[in-house]
Every structure is written in C-alpha cells, then in structure tokens.
Chain A
Amino acid sequence: MSNGTEAEYEVTHGRPQAFYENFDRKGELQHQTHYCPGCGHGIVHKMLAQAIDELGIQNRTILVSPVGCSVFAYYYFDVGNVQGAHGRAPAVATAVKRSHPQSIVVSYQGDGDLSAIGSAEILHAANRGENITVIFVNNAIYSMTGGQAAPTTLLGQVSTTTPAGRNAANEGYPLHVSELLATLEAPVYIERVGLGDNRQVAQAQRAVRRAVENQVRGLGFSLVEVLSPCPTIWKMSPVDAQHWVRDVMEKTFPLAVLRDRTKDVQPKAAPATGPALEEIPRILGVTDEGEAEPSDAQAKGGVDLQVRVAGFGGQGVLLLGEVLAEAGLHAGLEVSWLPSYGPEMRSGTSNCHVRLAREPIDSPLVAHPDVLVAMNEPSLHKFCASVRPGGWIFYNGETVPEECERKDVHILARPFMHVADELGDGRAGNMVILGALLEATATLPQASVDAALGQLVKSPRWLTLDERALARGRELLRESLQEVCHEG
C-alpha cells in the first residue's frame, strides 16, 4: 500500500523558474538543452537557476555566457543575457556590474575559456575584487572544439593535442587557477567543488548559491570552480564520467574552500532599484536575431546531384555524406562535402551538404537538395519543403507526417535503423539509406562506392556490415518502386 493519490503530494523539486519554459531560441527540441546526456553543464545550470530562484533575483540577474559548449547559456536562462568573446566574460561582467550596480552579474565560463585565453581577464577581475560571481566549469578539456588539451588537462590525460597523454616536460602542469586566485588580496570567496557523487553535488549546490548570495549582499568577488563531467569527449558513459571526477580528477584538483572572507568584509550597499527587465535588452543594445538562412547556390550548370543529410549527432550523418563524396571523387567527379553542426557533440543536430558535379562546384552549400536524407522527424520538418520538385526524400521513420507530405517528390519512408538492426547493428542504418539513395540516383558506379567504403571504414567487421547494409538499401528501393508500379 505505497501509493496515495497524486493530490496528496506537492512538488518540492521541479523545473526552476529562472529557466525559460520553452527554449524558443533553439530551432528544434525546444524542451531539451543542447547538452549531451550526462553533461555537467546541465547540472551546473540547474544549480544556478535554483540559486536565482531561491534568492528571488531573476529580474535583476545578468548572465554573461562564454565561448565553449555553454555558449548558448542564454537560450536557457530567463534573465538578462550577454554573450562575451572567448575568455572575456569577466571583463564584460565588470562593465555590466559597474554600469548597473544593482544587477546581479554572473560570469559563466569553461576551463579553456577561463584558464587559457581568458587567464588575464579572470586574474584582473579577481584582483580588482569586482563584486561579481564567477561559475567556473572545469572539465579538463576544450570540449566544444572536439577535445584539445586545456591548461587544466591532467598529467597523462589523452587529448587530441596530447595523444600520448599530457607530459609535464612538454605541456607543463595542470593549472590550479583557484589556488592562484586565492593568493590575491581581493577575492572574498573561492571554493572548488565537484559533481562526482551525491555528496559532492549537494555541496556544489550550496557553494553556487553562496557565491551568488555574496554578491547580493555586496561582499565582493566570488568564484566557484566545479569539476564537471564531459562524457562525450572523455569517451565515457555519464555514470563513469561522474565517478572519474571523484576518483581521478579530484586527486589533481582537491575540493576545498580556498578563500572565505565573507565574515570579515564590509558589505558595499547596492542601489535598491534598477531598470525594468524589459529595458535591459534596449539598454544593452541587444535584440533577438533570426537564424541566417544559407544563401541559394547560384550557377546550376553541370550540377549532377545536390544532397542534404540531416539528423542527430551519432546517427552517422557525416559518414554517409563522406562515403558519397569520396565515391564521387573516385568516379572522377567534382565533389564537395560540408559538415554543419551545432556546438554540441552528440544529441544535437548534425547535418551535411554534399555536391557531386561534372563542372567545378561554386558553393558547397546545398539550399535546395535533389535528395534529402532525414534521419528523424525534426530534420524532416526542417528541410522537407526545400527539396526540388522531382527529387527524393529518404526518411528514417514509418510514416511521413501529414504536413511533410509532397506530391511532387519521391518519398521513401522506412525505419532504416531497424532494418540495419536486423542485419546486426542499427548504427548501419545510414548505409541502408545510402544504398537506397545510390539506387535511386544511379549517378555512381558500385566500384567507386566500394572503393570509398574501403577507404573510410577501417574495421573489417563494419566494412562487411556496411556492404550488406548498402545492398539491403538498394533492394528496399527496388521493392518500393515495384509497389508503386503494382498499385498504379
């Protein structure tokens, strides 16, 4: 007898008010963040949002977003927002705070942002004792750009720029920014916390709140460094990444309160009233701007095939395009392959533009594809209208939603990932689609496709699987054409 009615229960932990209800500024997936599953940025965002709620300061908070995976923090926080150049957030925060002393200014930064390119800005803001709050998310790597070493990378840690592991003799030692800043006179509060387990998370939440509260009380410069998992670049499961923070990262960066002068300093009184929230964008001169549409490719002469492949990261979108382009090259065509993806590594949109032509290619952008490959529904929605009449849409799904139906293009809708599952691994779904695409367009000889595949797919197991997937895709297309003939 464990469950009463829902009415007897009250929400005690729910979506913080400080977040937008819907992330309108994102083009799609508007109820999710763009962060990978298990990303520490999401957890730290939530702690900051909770603190803003608890302190009742939403209408006077101004967040300065960095460059890094958290570049879009302003998508999420329903507060005043400024996005600073790489590493410059503490300088921007200084300006915002000094010109709007009644506002609560938070500089949110990654470790590359704060400890590498922005090392001067943080040092001097701390040394001036600016009455700002710095949230320093240390994941020991440049994540957004794909995993280059940061000053904070651990000794021995493998990154794309330290492939044999960080070596002190060559790359120096992990930089302890919080300890460095704690040698200065002015900072009031500096603490390093972690997201390594429940206990650490609870402590991190308290520290984030304190760092904001200090500013509300006018005490001075506060910084919280959060050791934060990046499962994607670390190539770990979210749970393993969490444990790595506690078991490995913490050994280099011990958790500690490095400075606490909150009891000794005299609060500087902040003016009581500030401008209305609606006024802030105008005062700061920031306005919303729409997403820029890629301009149309101009000269069409000699173009054989323009393809757009769209889906989520991890669905093999880029590889599909690469095999196609590489095969075109092998067949003696001019080709271009242009990947385009958001700052996220996984879970976000990923798409690529491929052109195969006899004449030189003017622009690698494909605004109006002859062939659209949509790996999921959001991608289909986004691009279905752009396909040229007479073209093809390959959709990884059972049925095409009504609003995407078109009479003037061919559509093949199949759960390609499931088809690949039957062949042994759902991840070969991209190659099933490529098979169908090759069969439909008939621009490339099979030998060129084989050569491209052999070049790009190194594992023999995957090569066999991909070859079978391609063949199955061709078969699916032929079957679908027959169905049409029979019906007709």
Chain B
Amino acid sequence: MTSAGKQDRGRLRVDQDECKGCALCIEACPPHVIQMTERLNHYGYRTAMYAGAGCTGCGICFMVCPEPGAITVLRLASHVAASAEGVKPCAGN
C-alpha cells in the first residue's frame, strides 16, 4: 500500500463551520502543521486549517479545541493499535 514508508502518521480535519478561529490548536500543535485561513467562514471567523503534511496524530489539538467537533484527528491504520489511548503531553511543549 504505502511505497515510501514515509507516510504521515496522522491527518487533521477542521470543520469550517464549527471552528471559531481561537488559534489554540495552532499554538498547541508540536510540529506546527496547523495554520489560519485568510478567508472568513459563514459566521465571519477566520478558521484553522491543516497545512497538509506533517501531522503525527498526537491528538493534542483535539483536546485544546473548545468546540466539540471542530477538529477530527485521524491516524494511519497501522499505527492506531500500536499507540495507547488518550492524549500524551507532547514533547516540545
């Protein structure tokens, strides 16, 4: 399936309608792979968005986000079982 073996462990989805642009996730992300959009969403907020690469799937952005479903973190299937449940305090914080 994966040829390079360099595939990112994690992925991030941000719900543009739910995000309020507080930027706490941007501050929290250890590898700094979350950015702010220039565009305003329907409610007039700039929102967070995934830079597109480099997510480790640590999940800390999910826990610091005040909105219930603004953030969804995904992990590469082969890594899901390997990692224990819950959020670990990330190195570099």
By a beta-carbon cutoff of 8 Å, the part of chain A in contact with chain B is 1-4, 6, 8-16, 19, 29, 31-33, 35-43, 45-47, 49, 54, 76, 195, 197-199, 201-203, 205-206, 231, 237-239, 242, 312, 347, 376-377
Contacts and interface: CB of A to CB of B under 8 A. Distances in A.
Contact of A41 (B3, B44, B66, B88): B66
B60 interface: yes
Interface of B: 1-4, 6-8, 10-11, 15, 17-18, 20-24, 27-28, 30, 42-45, 52-54, 57, 59-60, 62-69, 71-77, 80, 83, 85-90, 93
Contact of B53 (A2, A8, A11): A2
Given A6-B11, A8-B1, A12-B57, A33 B88 contact: no
A37 B69 CA distance: 14
B68 to A, nearest CB: 5
8 contacts: A1-B3, A10-B77, A16-B68, A33-B66, A36-B20, A202-B86, A238-B22, A347-B20
A12 B43 CA distance: 28
Contact of A40 (B43, B66, B68, B69): B66
Given A14-B73, A42-B65, 8 more contacts: A3-B8, A3-B11, A9-B75, A9-B76, A13-B87, A198-B90, A205-B63, A376-B44
B74 to A, nearest CB: 4
B24 A238 contact: yes
Contacts of B90: 198
A13 B64 CA distance: 12
Given A1-B6, A3-B7, A15 B69 contact: yes
Nearest to A39: B66
B54 to A, nearest CB: 7
A11 B66 contact: no
Q: Is the interface of B mostly helix, strand, loop or mixed?
A: loop
Contacts of A37: 20-22, 45, 66
A237 to B, nearest CB: 8
Contacts of A205: 63, 86-87
Contact of A8 (B6, B62, B76): B76
Contacts of A29: 43
A2 B23 CA distance: 24
A108 to B, nearest CB: 15
A4 B76 contact: yes
Given A11-B74, A12-B57, A198-B93, A43 B18 contact: no
Contact of B67 (A10, A42, A376): A42
A47 B72 contact: no
Given A12-B74, A205-B86, A38 B63 contact: no
A47 B17 CA distance: 21
A202 B85 CA distance: 12
B9 to A, nearest CB: 9
Contacts of B23: 38, 237-239
A199 B93 contact: yes
A1 B4 contact: yes
A201 B23 CA distance: 15
B56 to A, nearest CB: 11
Contacts of A39: 66
Which of B23, B67, B80 is most buried by chain A, counting CB atoms within 10 A of its CB? B67
Contacts of A4: 1-2, 7-8, 76
Contact of B80 (A3, A12, A32, A237): A12
A197 B24 contact: no
Contact of A35 (B45, B64, B66): B66
B51 to A, nearest CB: 10
Which of A3, A14, A32, A206 is most buried by chain B, counting CB atoms within 10 A of its CB? A32
A465 B36 CA distance: 29
A42 B62 CA distance: 12
A329 B23 CA distance: 43
A15 B69 CA distance: 4
A376 to B, nearest CB: 7
A36 B77 CA distance: 35
A1 B75 CA distance: 16
Contact of A10 (B17, B44, B80): B80
Which of B22, B43, B85 is most buried by chain A, counting CB atoms within 10 A of its CB? B22
A198 B28 contact: yes
Contacts of A14: 62, 69, 72-73
B74 A9 contact: yes
A8 B77 contact: yes
Which of A8, A29, A36, A377 is most buried by chain B, counting CB atoms within 10 A of its CB? A8
Nearest to B61: A13
